[in-house]
A and B are shown apart, each in its own frame.
Chain A
Amino acid sequence: MSEIFVLAEHRRGELREITLEMLSGIRDLSEKMGADLTAVLLGKNVGEFAETLKNYANKILVIEDEKLENFNAEAYQRVLSALIKERNPILTVIGHSAFGMDLAPSLATELDLPLATDCIGFEYEDGKLFAIRQIYGGKVNAKVSFKGDRYMMTIRAGAFPIDKEASMGGEIISVESPLKEDIPYRRFIEYIEAPPGEVDITQADILVGVGRAIGDVENLPLVEELAEALGGVVACTRPVVDKKWLPKERQVGTSGKVVKPKLYLAIGISGAFQHLAGMKGSELIVAINKDPKAPIFNAAHYGIVDDLFKVVPVLTEKIKELKS
């Protein structure tokens, strides 16, 4: 029976959510393809993860090796290429995470496999697989086909919900590590934690999020004043941090913080998925943006389509008036 590989992802003793998202999302495809769903788990002392994965896969291939304790693209590539050559899965699925982005393209190239990255879905029609991926910052979707009869995909975090009821009763299979020698070119040294900032945006009830459209650091007082009037705190998107307008501790999103305030007021934020992933759990989301097609309006409960420079000062005055 053919099989689909899904690479389990874990870090510092925790199985990462994307693993169960991928397994939940791909199960339907594995049934349509008539293929076993096989979780591939590499690491050291990962028995506990294998137990969790039993619910989500038909098989769990476990390779334990101290060289696999921390993610290392070079070590992972060696193990996976050996495993894929041996078992010839029809499809290999990896997370489009910091981990998968470092691993999947070079692995696919070594194995001469077609790869579609950052996929948010798939279609399977008449025995042919298509990947759905987003381009142009989420404004357009692309349906992509693969050449050949073996494929690889990386999947965006949050693209599929985790099936909490899953109970597949998968079989754990232990495989000997093919890593005989040391990994010569790449060495993991340590993890570096973000320094704690002055403000913890995850604790705020009201966040005023500001995006690239604020245009210049000199315009920031505009949103600071609004945040103050609301009794909230200013947060921001990645481009605002990249431009050094606000410190990293204020960043909401995949590489920043996940927030769930009572109110998230998004100002001049287009709504890249990395940002949405950090704030979509907010109780009430309001967006002000001049582009009516900005993806932020799909995530928001209320929207104002207008120039932030026109609306924000008036809104600040109105809030002050109501509060006094």
Chain B
Amino acid sequence: MEIVVCIKRVPDTAEAEVTITEDKKDIKKEGLAFEINEWDNYAVEEAVQLKEKFGGNITVVSVGSAESNDIIRRALAMGADRGILLRDEAFDGSDSYAIAKILHGAIKDIKFDLVLTGAQAGDDGCAQVGPTLAELLGIPHATLVTNIEIEDGKAKVRRELEGGLEELLEIELPALFGIQTGINEPRYVSIMGIRKARKKEIVEMGLKDIGLTGDEVGLAGSKTIIEELFIPPVGEGAEIIEGDAAEVSARLAEILKEKGVLA
């Protein structure tokens, strides 16, 4: 089974303070730790598990800067066979549509049975690239996928719906699946493993290599434009209880008692 996995390098902002740049188009990236997008990590693991079952090859593809080599190498250490880094100044400012277009440029010439992406990315949260790429490739897709079973050129996939409900679908291959977190338990990657994976090939491709022109990518090729970023207005918010652990605990216990929660 030939599998392509699309991955993205994103900043970890879960517990970091986020500030906006002067031109209001981006956040300040200095001091932030970067990692593989959480959803994509599950997609890589899913690909590796499918390869372990059916054999074949895994190609990981990422649009980004030279630093994205780090996450590609990490995926190679998990079990992928080769990497493609799509890197060109012309790609800067691409929206989800333009990113899908760039990925399409590289993937259309690869033989594949399955394309996996994360269902969304933790930075922009667009959840657009996967199904957009599927449409460009002319293949069916399903997103928010929580289980994949392959049989006779078809996939039985589970999709996560709301409120704990799931749906079971049958989809013809080749297809693209957007992977939801929790589908598997991504394996641990050691420094040693990443070092060993250095022998595997990473190909770098730019605008011309994928047969696109400058007006098809970047801001020119995007359909949506970020006008400005701003910090969301805060509501009334919580009454903050101040003090050390003993003080805040005593005060909170008092509040709970007043509110009749402590029976």
Contact = CB atoms under 8 A, between A and B. Distances in A.
B33 interface: no
A193 B162 CA distance: 11
Interface stretch (B14-22, B48-56, B58-66): B14-22
Contact of A136 (B27, B131, B252): B27
Contact of B262 (A70, A71, A117, A323): A323
Contact of A242 (B27, B162, B182, B261): B182
Contacts of B165: 191-194
Given A102-B143, A248-B164, A303-B240, A187 B169 contact: yes
A322 interface: yes
Interface residues of A, number: 101
> Top 3 A-B pairs ranked by shortest CB distance?
A303-B238, A194-B164, A114-B223
B253 A186 contact: no
Interface residues of B, number: 83
Given A187-B169, A188-B167, A106 B135 contact: yes
A311 B245 contact: yes
A310 B222 CA distance: 48
B18 A136 contact: yes
B250 A98 contact: no
Contacts of A293: 17-18
Given A106-B134, A145-B224, A118 B185 contact: no
A79 interface: no
B239 A303 contact: yes
Given A105-B129, A106-B132, 14 more contacts: A73-B141, A101-B131, A109-B97, A113-B223, A118-B125, A136-B18, A185-B175, A255-B162, A270-B14, A284-B259, A297-B237, A299-B238, A304-B240, A311-B245
A143 B227 contact: yes
A187 B233 CA distance: 44
B259 to A, nearest CB: 6
B262 A322 contact: yes
A230 interface: yes
Interface string A185-221: 1111111111000000000001000001100000000
B96 A105 contact: yes
Given A109-B132, A147-B222, A147-B225, A140 B238 contact: no
A258 interface: yes
B128 interface: yes
B166 A192 contact: yes
A137 B223 contact: no
B227 A144 contact: yes
B241 A105 contact: no
B249 A315 contact: yes
A124 interface: no
Contacts of A242: 181-182
Interface string B228-258: 1111101101111100011011101101110
A143 B228 contact: yes
Contacts of A287: 238
Interface string B102-139: 00000000000000000100111111111110111000
Interface string B199-236: 00000000000000000000000111111111110110
Contacts of A290: 15
